[in-house]
Amino acid sequence: MRVVSLVPSLTEAVAVSLPGVLVGATDWCTHPADLDVIRVGGTKNPKVDRIAALAPDLVIANEEENRAPDLDALRAAGIEVLVTEIRDLPQAFRELARVLRACGGSRPRWLDEAEAAWSSPPVAPRRTTAVVPVWRRPWMVLGRDTFAGDVLARLGVDHLYAGHAERYPRVPLEELRAAAPDVVVLPDEPYLFTADDGPEAFPGLPCALVSGRYLTWYGPSLARAPRVLGGALRAARH
């Protein structure tokens, strides 16, 4: 098999499970750290001609990460495209297994370990409320029907915009502050929140700086995500 991945987390899943199968990946595919494949542009602007030149048997994509016109252009070039849809953890496990089968592999051990880790994740002693910014200028937060929201819910964290009509609504900073959540969860992607860029906007509110790889990625990182995220959330509350 020759596979091109347009999704960073799926890139890691395939590279770890089926070494040598990937021939191309996006510029944003940072894991594994030693990944050595042809880069084919971004997730939102892949270079179709470069992908076609790699003569892949399959391109793997995601309905949220990638744009339909780009995927249509790949199909028009005669390339098979597998599009995943992942809105919650059970769906992630199913789709990961489907992707790896399509790439010619069998079920890897890390997938079993990830399912086991999430079968009884560390849950906060009491339900915790949160707002989860994913961007600033303008401020945007997790809304309805998101994978990251489902991950947090399984750790005992209810984000306050889970019932919003939009999946990533724009919300004025004043409103976010006034919501007075138990914790503000600040991931390092897609916006790179840091100790010096983010917490200062929420004076008096506990802030948890978390790795976006553990909050939003579906792949081998899922095996460690409950422990890593749970630790970061507990630390922010104390």
- Pick from 107, 140, 171: which residue ends a domain? 107
In this structure, are 228 and 134 located in the same domain? yes
Q: Give 186-233 pLDDT, tens digit per residue.
A: 999 999 999 999 999 999 999 999 999 999 999 999 999 999 999 999
What are the tokens at 204?
Answer: 């008096």
Kindly tell me if the per-residue pLDDT of 53 is higher than 90. Answer: yes
> What residues make up the domain containing 72?
3-107
Hey, what's the torsion of the CAs at 192, 212, 123, 220, to 10 degrees?
-160
Q: How many domains are there within the chain? A: 2
Last residue of a domain, which of 65, 81, 107? 107
Residue 237: pLDDT band (50, 70, 90) is confident
Residue 83 tokens, joined: 């599009």
The interaxial angle of helices 89-102 and 109-119, nearest 10 deg, is 170
Rounded Cα distance between 152 and 146, Å, is 10
CATH code: domain of residue 35 = 3.40.50.1980
Q: Are 139 and 173 in contact (CB under 8 A)?
A: yes
Q: Which pTM value belongs to this model?
A: 0.92
Q: Within a domain: residue 45?
A: yes
How far apart CA 183 and CA 44 sit, in angstroms, is 31
* Mean local confidence (pLDDT), 130-152: 97
